[in-house]
Each structure stands twice: as structure tokens, then as C-alpha cells.
């Protein structure tokens, strides 16, 4: 289940991304990129692809059964290259 509110919806909207796109990118076999600790809470970064082929980076926290998206944005050229290379390796 996703935890959406005005704050995180505003953050993704600033990147012209819809909640449905983020949810789809996270359901289409996303690639875990790294984990970071922010104020004692683990944040995870994933690269994912929407059904329309849009490549997104999604930053999220897991709280029990809930996924809270912190933000999401389009992959830049270097990130796209990394994503495609990882896909070719079968990640």
C-alpha cells in the first residue's frame, strides 16, 4: 500500500510525475540502487520503468506494510545508461 499525501504528491508533481506512474514503475521489477540513512530512517532508491517506457528514480521509505514515496524524478542520461546496463545483465 502506498502512503500519499499533499507533501509527497507536490514533490513528484514538481517533476511532472503522477502517483500512478510511480506505482507502476515500482511494480515493474524495479532495480534497487542504494540505501541511505536519513535521520535514523532507511531510504531506498530504485530505478523503474512505467508501462509507457518512462524511466524514473524513486526514493522511498518502508513503514511496515506501507511504502511512502519521498520523491521521484526522471533518470538523467548517466542513470539511464546505468539502468539499461543493469537490465542487460539481468538485474
- pLDDT tens string 76-87: 999 999 999 999
Instruction: Give the model's pLDDT for residue 29.
Output: 95
- pLDDT tens string 28-57: 999 999 999 999 999 999 999 999 999 999
**Domain assignment of residue 71, yes or no:** yes
- pLDDT tens string 9-34: 999 999 999 999 999 999 999 999 99
Instruction: Give the model's pLDDT for residue 38.
Output: 93
Instruction: Give the model's pLDDT for residue 32.
Output: 96
**Domain assignment of residue 1, yes or no:** no
Total count of domains within the chain: 1
Instruction: Residue 22: give the domain boundaries.
Output: 6-88
C-alpha radius of gyration, the chain, whole number: 13
Containing 76, the helix (H) or strand (E) segment is: none
Measured distance CA(59)–CA(61) in Å, rounded: 7
Amino acid at each position: 500500500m502506498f502512503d500519499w499525501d499533499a507533501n509527497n504528491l507536490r514533490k513528484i508533481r514538481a517533476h511532472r510525475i503522477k502517483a500512478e506512474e510511480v506505482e507502476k514503475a515500482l511494480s515493474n521489477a524495479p532495480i534497487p540502487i542504494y540505501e541511505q540513512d536519513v535521520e535514523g530512517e532507511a531510504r531506498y532508491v530504485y530505478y523503474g520503468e512505467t508501462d509507457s517506457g518512462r524511466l524514473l528514480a524513486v526514493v522511498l521509505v518502508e513503514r511496515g506494510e506501507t511504502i511512502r514515496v519521498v520523491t521521484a524524478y526522471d533518470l538523467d542520461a548517466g542513470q539511464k545508461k546505468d539502468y539499461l546496463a543493469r537490465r542487460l545483465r539481468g538485474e
